[in-house]
């Protein structure tokens, strides 16, 4: 500390003239320059982000288009195979309208297989618990027609896990049925399922207000009581469809069928038992039947597969809005399951 009471550092900050140095003045308009640089940098960043966004959107669109094209329903059966071969058609899942097991899908595949001169025979591989008697009946009728039109081209059914009810309704139209010893076969019966909520509604104090024009228009409504007349009518209709099923089985299996009181009771059997009682002819797979029965080991798939685009439309399209109504209706119609 000096005698005059000022800090030595303060003295050191003075210039040669003894006066303190002033801060250097910034050029005029520097604020505007900084703001312009900031604005330009922001714009450049936004443009880069926009370009990358467009790139990724286009890339995603390209992937979706490629996936839709690949899964749009292409299958080898629609090409022109060279040389003698076995035609394969698959029914996998329930036999219902709008599915790959529907008549709209199976019948065109059958016609392509039979009309191909290089197809020495047809194998129909079935893995189905059943479904609509209408769809199964249409497919059965078409197989019978094609077998008459092409008597030298046999059709064999190969059962995978299960061939029951509507699946078996189709199978009996074949020349022969081959199974695995553990396959599930049979269930020659008809059902109509539903629920009744009248007791629950009464306990909950809920009143059903259903207005109809026609005495039986509310038939099978789950929220209304079922009369004995309606129950009798439904049973008669089920018995009628059951008789149709029995006639188809008898016609298809002929003398091979060893009937017992349980044959048409709705029971199902193992593949081994099915062979024993005449519901099937022997054991085999697609490969063994193609090799041993048709003598054509080359197999070409004629199945009309459902494309990815169709699956997406079904999942997110109109089917979503009508799912509840379809479920109610399906429960009120005869079913071969």
Q: What is the pLDDT of residues 242-293, one digit of tens each?
A: 999 999 999 999 999 999 999 999 999 999 999 999 999 999 999 999 999 9
Report the relative pairing of strands 268-270 and 184-186 from DSSP bridges. antiparallel
Q: Is the pLDDT of residue 321 over 60?
A: no
Token pair, residue 167, equals 């699946």
Q: What is the pLDDT of residues 51-80, one digit of tens each?
A: 777 877 777 877 776 666 655 544 444 445
Angle between helices 308-316 and 318-330 (to 10 degrees): 70
Task: Output the CA–CA distances (angstroms, integers) from residue 144 to 110, 132, 141, 154, 303, in the order listed.
Answer: 11, 19, 5, 11, 19
Reference 68, options 329, 244, 307, 337; nearest CA is: 307
Q: What is the pLDDT of residues 168-216, one digit of tens each?
A: 999 999 999 999 999 999 999 988 766 665 666 666 676 666 677 777 7
Task: Output the CA–CA distances (angstroms, integers) from residue 236 to 87, 191, 233, 249, in the order listed.
Answer: 40, 12, 5, 20
pLDDT, position 307: 57
Q: How many CA atoms lie within 13 A of 171 on its CB side?
A: 33
CA distance 98 to 104: 8
Report the relative pairing of strands 176-179 and 119-128 from DSSP bridges. unpaired
Reference 139, options 94, 103, 95; nearest CA is: 103
pLDDT, position 284: 97
CA distance 222 to 218: 9
Q: Please name every residue paired with 310 in a beta bridge, in sequence order, or none if there are none.
A: none
pTM of the complete model: 0.69
Could you tell me the pLDDT band of residue 48, with boundaries at 50, 70 and 90?
A: confident
CA distance 271 to 274: 5
Q: Please name every residue paired with 300 in a beta bridge, in sequence order, or none if there are none.
A: 87
Q: Is the pLDDT of residue 117 over 70?
A: yes
CA distance 171 to 123: 11
- DSSP E strand boundaries for the chain: 85-92, 119-128, 155-164, 176-179, 184-186, 268-270, 282-283, 299-301
- Which positions are catalytic? 165, 217
pLDDT, position 26: 56
How is 12-79 classified by DSSP, letter by letter?
A: HTB-TTSSBPPPPPPPTTHHHHHHHHHHHHHHHHHHHHHHHHHHHHHHHHHHHHHHHHHTSS--GGGS
Lowest mean pLDDT among 3-17, 253-267, 323-337: 3-17
Backbone angle region of 54, left / alpha / beta, with phi > 0 → left and psi within -120 to 50 → alpha: alpha
Check residue 248 and report its DSSP letter. H
pLDDT, position 318: 41
Once rounded to an integer, what is the mean pLDDT over residues 25-45? 69
């Amino acid at each position: 500390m000096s005698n005059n009471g000022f800090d030595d550092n303060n003295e050191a900050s003075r210039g040669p003239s003894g006066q303190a140095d002033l801060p250097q003045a910034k050029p005029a308009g520097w604020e505007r320059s900084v703001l312009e640089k900031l604005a330009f940098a922001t714009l450049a960043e936004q443009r880069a982000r926009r370009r990358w966004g467009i790139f990724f959107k286009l890339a995603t669109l390209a992937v979706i288009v490629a996936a839709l094209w690949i899964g749009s329903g292409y299958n080898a059966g629609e090409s022109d195979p060279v040389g003698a071969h076995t035609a394969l058609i698959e029914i996998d899942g329930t036999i219902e309208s709008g599915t790959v097991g529907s008549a709209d899908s199976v019948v065109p595949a059958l016609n392509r297989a039979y009309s191909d001169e290089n197809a020495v025979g047809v194998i129909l591989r079935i893995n189905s618990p059943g479904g609509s008697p209408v769809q199964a009946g249409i497919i059965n009728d078409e197989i019978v027609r094609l077998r008459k039109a092409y008597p030298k081209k046999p059709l064999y059914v190969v059962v995978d896990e299960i061939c029951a009810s509507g699946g078996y309704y189709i199978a009996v139209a074949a020349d022969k049925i081959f199974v695995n010893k553990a396959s599930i076969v049979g269930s020659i019966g008809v059902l109509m399922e539903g629920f009744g909520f009248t007791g629950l509604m009464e306990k909950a104090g809920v009143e059903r207000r259903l207005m109809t024009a026609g005495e039986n228009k509310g038939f099978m409504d789950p929220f209304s009581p079922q009369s004995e007349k309606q129950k009798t009518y439904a049973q008669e209709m089920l018995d009628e469809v059951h008789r149709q099923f029995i006639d188809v089985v008898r016609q298809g299996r002929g003398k091979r069928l060893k009937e017992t009181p349980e044959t048409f009771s709705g029971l199902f059997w193992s593949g081994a038992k099915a062979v024993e009682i005449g519901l099937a002819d022997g054991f085999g797979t697609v490969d063994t039947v193609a090799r041993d029965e048709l003598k054509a080991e080359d197999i070409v798939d004629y199945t009309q597969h459902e494309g990815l685009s169709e699956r997406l439309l079904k999942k997110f399209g109109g089917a979503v809005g009508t799912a509840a109504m379809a479920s109610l209706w399906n429960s009120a119609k005869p079913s071969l399951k």
